[in-house]
Amino acid sequence: MPDVFARPIDASTRYCAVYGFPVRHSASPAMHNAGLAALGLNWRYLAFAVPPVQLQEALRGAAAMRFVGVNLTVPHKVLAVEMMDVLDASARLWGAVNTVRFEGLRADGHWEPLGQWSAEAEPEQVRMQGFNTDADALVQALQEELGWQAKGSRVLLLGAGGAGRVAALKLAAEGVAQLFLVNRTMEKAAAVAEEIRARYPGCAVTLGYPEGTVDLLVNATSLGLRAEDPLPLDPTRFPLERAGAVYDMIYRPAETPLLARAARAGCRVANGLGMLLYQGTRALEIWSGRPAPVEVMRRALREHVYGG
C-alpha cells in the first residue's frame, strides 16, 4: 500500500471527510487516504463527530472551507436530503444522501466539482449536490461475496431505518420476489412496505418473520456493533438454519454474533466491508472524476479493520 503521508500537507491541500454520530469506529479515512495517495492527489480525508442538530451547520462550514466532498453515515443520511442544493438521481430515487459533492460556479455558469478545479482557482459560489452510493454497493457486495442473485429470491430484512429502507427499496427494484421486513417499531416497517407496494408492485412484502426458508437474510440494524448487543432477530421465530446466506452490514467486529451463529448453522456469510468499499470507491469517483484504485482501497480497509 502506498505511503499515505509521503506528500506533506501544504496550503494547496484539499479536504474531504465523513460526518457521523458516533464516527470513531469509521474505517473510511484509512480507505480513502490510501486511494488518494494512489491517485497522487494532494487531498486528505478526515472524520468528524457531528450531532444531527449541527449537521446543516457542519455542511455549510465544509462548503465555506471549499472541501471537495463529504460522506454521511448514521444518523445523517435521510436528514441531509432537505439540506442539499441539488440531488442526483440516485439520492432522489432512494431518498437518502451518503455522499455530498461540493461544486463551484464557473464564469460561464457551469457548476464544476471542486475536486476538478485547479489549485490556483477559487470559486466565489459553492453548492452541495447529494448522491447515494449505498444501494448499488450493497447489491455488488451481495453478488460478489455471497453469489446471490435477486431475481425471484426470498429475503428477510432486519431493520427499516435509514439503511434498512434504502436496502429494502433497492432489493425490490432488483427483482426480489418476496421481502419480509422485521423492525423494532412495526409502524416504520409498515411505512416501508407501503412504499415498496406503490413503487415495486411485483415484490410481495410481508411484515414479520417468514414461514419456511429464505435465500438471504440481511441485518441493517446496528445490533452487533457492541459485544453486549442482543441478536438482531429472534432465533425462536426464525432459526438461522432456514437462511441460505446471511449478510451483516456491520464490518467491525469482523464476525458479529449473528454471523458467528449463522456460520455454525451452515449459512454462507459476509459482513459489511464490501459494501463500505464499493460505496467509498464510487464516492471518490464522484469527487475526482477519475477511476478509483479499488484494490488499493480494499487492502487498506482490510489492514485497518482486521490487521492484514
Is-cis flag, bond preceding 75, omega within 30? yes
Spatial CA neighbour of 163 closest among 187, 142, 197, 192 = 192
3-state secondary structure of 184: coil
Instruction: Classify residue 64 as exposed, middle or buried by CB count within 10 Å of its CB (0-12, 13-18, 19+).
Output: exposed
Buried/exposed 42-62: b ≥16 CB within 10 Å, e otherwise: ebbbebeebeeeebeebbeeb
Question: Which is it for strands 99-105 and 111-113: parallel, antiparallel or unpaired?
Answer: antiparallel
Of the candidates 119, 120, 18, which has an alpha carbon nearest to the alpha carbon of residue 73? Answer: 18
CA distance 268 to 27: 24
Compute the C-alpha angle 91/38/119, nearest 5°. Answer: 75
Cell 449536490 appears where? 129
Q: How many CB atoms lie within 10 A of CB 78?
A: 17
Annotated active-site positions, please? 77
List, as one string, the DSSP characters of 81-100.
GGG-SEE-HHHHHHT--SEE
Of 68, 59, 132, the C-alpha closest to 101 is: 68
E runs forming strands in 132-266: 154-158, 178-182, 204-207, 216-219, 245-248
* Residue among 305, 296, 290, 279 nearest 33 (CA): 296
